[in-house]
Structure 1
Amino acid sequence: MVPRTIENTRESDETVCLPDDEELFAGNDVDEFSAVLKNERSPKILITTSRYNSTRGPAFISDLISVIPNAHYYKRGTYDLKKIVQYANEKEFTSVIVVHTNRREPDALLVIGLPDGPTAHFKLSKLMLRKDIKNHGKPTSHKPELVLTNFTTRLGHRVGRMIQSLFPQDPEFRGRRVVTFHNQRDFIFFRHHRYIFETKESKQKESKGKISKDEKNPQERTIARLQECGPRFTLKLISLQHGTFDTKGGEYEWVHKPEMDTSRRRFFL
């Protein structure tokens, strides 16, 4: 018997994606992310900060650059965000990530798709930098394998494709890197690991007090495990806006409001 959980007893949602949804798959071919996901363009990411940076902001950005291939940091200075978006378009970047900080702590991410949007605003919480993770690994420069799980609704599908467009679509498995975005109850948990293969000796048990030949000559077996590389953080979608960042005339696809939280079993991604 399958135990009842909040996830498998969630409220029914007519926007949940179905495997035979032809309209959804047709939309994938013409959306803003299709060029990158079809390998027609290579992802190129510009990372910057809010105007008032924090002490942990640079360390977090350094960790992000090690996670996302072809990501470049540009100091914000006094430039308006629209000017930065315009510059990124001219230099053929495919996305802009803005790390927002509050009280010396990164607390939000703004992800802007280029050249036509959309713009996603995420709340950032439970940040743990690589240096703070015990026995953390050091990632290589290989392109990582990307794992996205549990993005089941149309909104979740769109957010998942936006995240996917930040990474190259041809992972280099030799590097044994894997980046995971796991959605659970509308919280997106980020983890960065590398595979480690270890060779260990396997011994067989004694039979009737006698030592077998296999035990005298133990066999070697290879086991796999994961080593976390960091950073570690959690995202929660606040809003999704059509087009690039525009606080005045922007049209929103979706905005989270407190009155939408009518039940613990109602999820949007």
Structure 2
Amino acid sequence: MLPPKIKRLTREYLYRKNLEGKQRLLYEKKRKIREALEEGKPIPTELRNEEAALRQDIDLEDGNTAVPMSHIDDEYVNTQRDPKILLTTSRDPSASLIQFAKELKLVFPNAQQMNRGGQVISEIIETCRAHDFTDVVLVHEHRGVPDGLIINHLPFGPTAYFQLLNVVTRHDIKDKKTVGTMPQVYPHLILNNFTTKHGGPKSIELKEIGPRFELRLYKIKLGTVDQNEAQTEWVFRPYMNTAKKQKFMGN
């Protein structure tokens, strides 16, 4: 059972998320009004009854309020908080799963690995909420082979479920000379002041550092991983496994 406070906050989170559809519809109406005014065209017939109210809203907007923000934007706007990730495994993990989890920890910046022990999922989620973790990553296996990965965003979700395929740990890569050293620094992108060309086709060299694996998303839930009653936002169906549908999902 979730504490009353968490239940209330979860309801508020889902309510804000549901409002996004209405805000997007209102944004589209105002966008059509703006375009008509800028291009000197007549106001669309379906918006004439709302024109006065919409134009009043447009006059009051600025650069920060003209485009609707999502619940995801609300979480990260004006904050410098880095993700704080807990990584753990299913119960009684094999040696190969433990090794994969250790290497996976180095893939996610600011990740902490925890031995699962006898803890149930609900206890792990509640502890992570109390200690301001932003995400929980769970790795599963079948007969000693890592085959599943769950990413649970905190405090209220969503939760993404992935199938793990073709896992090869750094430990299992045979040619040790080709495996680069695992960096201990946070990855970062520099996007400003690119005024000159840098490098070229012959001067770029990439090294595999591992681990090597493929991820296949098959389900997204709106709640946390311990909430069986949480609504399923998306799930992979067999009929999606066609060339046309795969192309659509890949766009």
Alignment partner of 1:139 is 2:182? yes
Residue in 1 that maps onto 2:209? 229
Work out the percentage of aligned pairs sharing the same amino acid.
34
Q: CA separation in 2, counterparts of 1:224 and 1:253? A: 41
Q: CA separation in 1, counterparts of 2:171 and 2:149? A: 21
Matched to 2:185, the amino acid is: H
Count of residues paired in the alignment: 175
Are the equivalent residues in 1 in contact too, given 2:85–2:134 (CA < 8 A)?
yes
Alignment partner of 1:238 is 2:218? yes
Alignment partner of 1:65 is 2:45? no
Unaligned runs of 5+ in 1: 1-21, 146-170, 174-196, 198-221
Q: CA separation in 2, counterparts of 1:138 and 1:77? A: 31
Matched to 1:266, the amino acid is: K
Q: CA separation in 2, counterparts of 1:38 and 1:52? A: 41
Alignment partner of 1:104 is 2:152? no
Matched to 2:171, the amino acid is: K
Instruction: Mark the CA change 1:255 to 1:34 in structure 2 (over 3 Å): closer, same or farther.
Output: same
Q: CA separation in 2, counterparts of 1:36 and 1:124? A: 29
Give 4+ residue runs of structure 1 displaced > 3 Å after superposition. Answer: 32-40
Following TM superposition, by how much is the alpha carbon of 1:82 offset from its aligned partner in structure 2, in angstroms? 1.1
Q: Give the alignment of 1:5-84 within 5 angstroms.
A: 29-32=69-72, 35-36=75-76, 39-84=79-124
Q: CA separation in 1, counterparts of 2:232 and 2:78? A: 26
Q: CA separation in 2, counterparts of 1:256 and 1:108? A: 15
Are the equivalent residues in 2 in contact too, given 1:144–1:172 (CA < 8 A)?
no
Alignment partner of 1:257 is 2:237? yes
Q: How big is the alpha-carbon RMSD for the aligned residues of Structure 1 and Structure 2? A: 2.8
Instruction: Mark the CA change 1:38 to 1:111 in structure 2 (over 3 Å): closer, same or farther.
Output: farther
Higher radius of gyration, 1 or 2? 2
Following TM superposition, by how much is the alpha carbon of 1:129 offset from its aligned partner in structure 2, in angstroms? 0.7
| Greater strand content | 1
- Secondary structure of 1:228 counterpart: coil
TM-score for both structures, normalised by structure 2: 0.62
Residue in 1 that maps onto 2:126? 86
Question: Bigger relative contact order, structure 1 or 2, given CA contacts below 8 A and separation 6+?
Answer: 1
TM-score for both structures, normalised by structure 1: 0.58
Residue in 1 that maps onto 2:7? none
Are the equivalent residues in 1 in contact too, given 2:161–2:220 (CA < 8 A)?
yes
Q: CA separation in 1, counterparts of 2:232 and 2:225? A: 10
Are the equivalent residues in 2 in contact too, given 1:143–1:172 (CA < 8 A)?
no
Following TM superposition, by how much is the alpha carbon of 1:105 offset from its aligned partner in structure 2, in angstroms? 1.1
- Secondary structure of 2:204 counterpart: strand
Matched to 1:143, the amino acid is: Y
Following TM superposition, by how much is the alpha carbon of 1:246 offset from its aligned partner in structure 2, in angstroms? 3.7
Unaligned runs of 5+ in 2: 1-26, 29-65, 192-198
Deviations along 1:137-164, one digit per CA (max 9) or x if unpaired, are: 112211114xxxxxxxxxxxxxxxxxxx
Q: Give the alignment of 1:105-184 within 5 angstroms.
A: 105-133=145-173, 134=175, 135-145=178-188, 171=189
Are the equivalent residues in 1 in contact too, given 2:125–2:226 (CA < 8 A)?
no
Q: CA separation in 1, counterparts of 2:143 and 2:136? A: 23
Following TM superposition, by how much is the alpha carbon of 1:106 offset from its aligned partner in structure 2, in angstroms? 0.8
Matched to 1:61, the amino acid is: A
Residue in 1 that maps onto 2:3? none
